[in-house]
Amino acid sequence: MATILPEGSVVDGVYLDPRGLLFEKFQESFDRTGRFTGLDAFCRPAGDPPESEPVTVESGISAESIVVVQIDTRLHELTRIGFDVPVGEPGTMVATFVDLVNTMCGGIHGRTLDLRTTEVSALGGGSLDIDTLREAACLEAVEIHEAAVVLAATPIPGTVAGCLTQRHRVSHLAVRGISDLDLSRGRGLLHSIEVGDRTGLSLAVGAAIDRGLLDGATIGVVVPDAPQRSDDVMAAIEHALAEVGLAAARYQIGCEGTTTCQVGLDTAVTAMIHNGVDVVVPLVDMTSLPWLVLEMLEQEMPRPQFVLSGLDGQGLDAVASRVAEFGGSIAGAYYDGALVVDGSATGSQRLDDAERRPFDRLCAETWAEAEGVAVPTIESTLDDVHRTVVEACSLVRWVARAAEAAGPDPSRLALQVALANLGPVDVPDMRPTTVDGRRWRTVQVRRYEYPCEHGAGFGASEGCLVPDGPPVVLDRTGVPVPPDGPFSRPPDQVTVFVANGSNVGGLAGKVTRLLGLDGYQTTSPGNAYRASLSTIYYREGFLGDASAIGTTLSLPADEVPIPALIDFVAPSTVDRVLAADVVLVIGSTDARRLQKTD
């Protein structure tokens, strides 16, 4: 029987997060008085009606509503191949929370959220490949429904994100399954609760290196020919390995335009055995992983170390359990010890100090009451409905907060800006996540245990995923945020003065423009007295921001408090130093490299 978790404590509307100072400070940064930010209710009812009647602004934003489209993956198709995942129905969960915004909450500035759904196959097949079907879903969302916002509560890898945000300039919010390349090219329109695929894979390889799992290893990466597995993802693995003098070989398998990749699987495994591969990094879809393991067992390949990221849900109990459910205890034991890194909260309930997070409880209870069903719990070993409910709840509150912040009669641009600048947001397990210039995301290293030593196994298997160490909060550059500070602010809350201490003309102006593009407030650039080494000066309380600027510019500079006697610039420039939170003095050692920076 599952252990019942204790409830998390909320005092004066703020969750007292016991996981350390960083988590505590993050919770304190919330404004819990907003209509869609409280922990006592999903929303607060609308107040007085708008001063004037709403008007139609542009496509997707009428006088009556804002069009929100969800691209819903037909997960029920997975039953055709015996791969039904017990996560509930994400599409109907999103619909339930949107309905609550429109009814119980009273809408937003006199409008409702007009939710429309376009479906996409979970498997593909037939005359069209899976990415063509996903592209069609994108076009339906933007051309037929004229969506102002598009949601995806289940991963939709491939070209959808680029179609929505790059070609059609529509905001897209997803849970996971987004590439870092698309996140970068989306220019503030593409958002994901979890880290991008490239970041996740880099972290997984890094975690394996840190634990000595790759020492002396022969590494094989199983790569499907599906379009969504770009060379960019493989490049992340190769780069992480090259930094420690390692390399990996590719073993390609075919998918025939579907999400289940088995063509050439036997050949790939034979080649791995021949080459002595003892570490396997599978970049396969969730429906292909069990078949890969079974083929390795069939050919009696010596048990390797598996290293995975959250690519296609590999970090979820509902997916990992399928290995043992398909292949039995032999397959479970073969997969035992697999290292998985992703941004989900899977397995957190199995730790001794676990507790039920207030946001998770709020979402689960709100959904259960609306649907007239039992409240799903994170402790359940039979299904993963709880996680799916909280993810749907998080996405809808994100949209509702942005619509509220955008004000009456917002343009699409105003809504897009609001969606990208909410600050802290609630996500499953209440892990630090921000939608602003900081772009904090939280990741977790896990091990697959078979049999599970931390409670009952998940589903019909005896295996489970268990956290290996504490969750790690990453900033926008993928660098861990120090667990006990110093903490950085959103860039638009930091004023920076750049002074050139080198003999390279125009450099302060160039770096000032770069920091401005990254969201920082900047003063007019200036000159400093000649300096060999770069230095980042900071006002009291801005050490974390000085560190963030150094990371942004890849600048190995000393970080020191702004001195009482400002003697590193001419007297005529002292006023700009005093007006700044952070002052960067560029030394000649770094000048040439910064000059080449794009």
Q: For the segment 109-165, what is each residue's pLDDT rounded down to a tens digit?
A: 999 999 999 998 877 766 677 778 888 999 999 999 999 999 999 887 778 888 999
Q: Rounded CA gap, 17 and 30, in Å?
A: 13
Q: Best-predicted range by mean pLDDT among 65-79, 239-253, 398-412? A: 398-412
Per-residue pLDDT at 277: 97
Residue 492 CB coordination number (10 Å): 13
* Averaged pLDDT, 560-577: 93
What are 297-330's pLDDT values in tens digits? 999 999 999 999 987 788 899 889 999 999 999 9
pLDDT of residue 231 exceeding 70:
no
pLDDT of residue 391 exceeding 80:
yes
Per-residue pLDDT at 230: 54
What mean pLDDT value characterizes the chain?
91
Length of the chain: 598
Q: Rounded CA gap, 187 and 375, in Å?
A: 38
- 274 burial via Cβ count (<10 Å: 0-12, 13-18, 19+): exposed
Percent of the chain clearing pLDDT 90 (strictly above): 67
Amino acid at 561: P
pLDDT of residue 22 exceeding 60:
yes
Cα separations in angstroms, 336 against 286, 446, 595: 17, 12, 50
Q: Is the sign of the CA dihedral 380, 13, 406, 441 positive or negative? A: negative
Classify 193 as helix, strand or coil: coil
Domains and CATH numbers, the chain: 10-193+352-435 (3.40.50.2300), 198-342 (3.40.50.2300), 491-596 (3.30.70.2390)
Per-residue pLDDT at 551: 79
DSSP 42-108: S-----SPPSS-----BTTB-SSEEEEEEEEEEGGGGGGGT----S--HHHHHHHHHHHHHTTT--B
Per-residue pLDDT at 50: 82
Per-residue pLDDT at 598: 63
DSSP 337-398: T-EEEESS-TTGGGSTT--B-HHHHHHHHHHHHHHTSPPP-TT-SS--HHHHHHHHHHHHHH
Contacts of 551 (CB under 8 A, 6+ apart): 475, 477, 479
Contacts of 328 (CB under 8 A, 6+ apart): none
> Exposed e or buried b for every residue in 351-377, given b needs 16+ CB within 10 A?
eeebbbbbbbbbbbebbbebeeeeebb
Of the listed ranges 285-299, 306-320, 389-403, 480-494, the one predicted with least confidence: 480-494
Per-residue pLDDT at 3: 62
Q: List the one residue out of 587, 465, 470, 594 whose CA is nearest residue 535.
A: 587
pTM score, whole prediction: 0.85
Q: Higher-confidence residue: 93 or 187?
A: 93
What are 161-209's pLDDT values in tens digits? 889 999 999 999 999 888 888 888 887 899 999 998 888 888 999 999 9
| Contact (Cβ atoms closer than 8 angstroms) between residue 564 and residue 578 | no
pLDDT of residue 211 exceeding 90:
yes
Q: Rounded CA gap, 327 and 534, in Å?
A: 58
Q: List the one residue out of 27, 21, 22 whose CA is nearest residue 8.
A: 27
pLDDT of residue 513 exceeding 90:
yes
pLDDT band, very low/low/confident/very high, at 1 (cuts 50, 70, 90): very low
What are 528-557's pLDDT values in tens digits? 999 989 999 999 889 888 988 987 887 878
Q: Rounded CA gap, 472 and 457, in Å?
A: 25
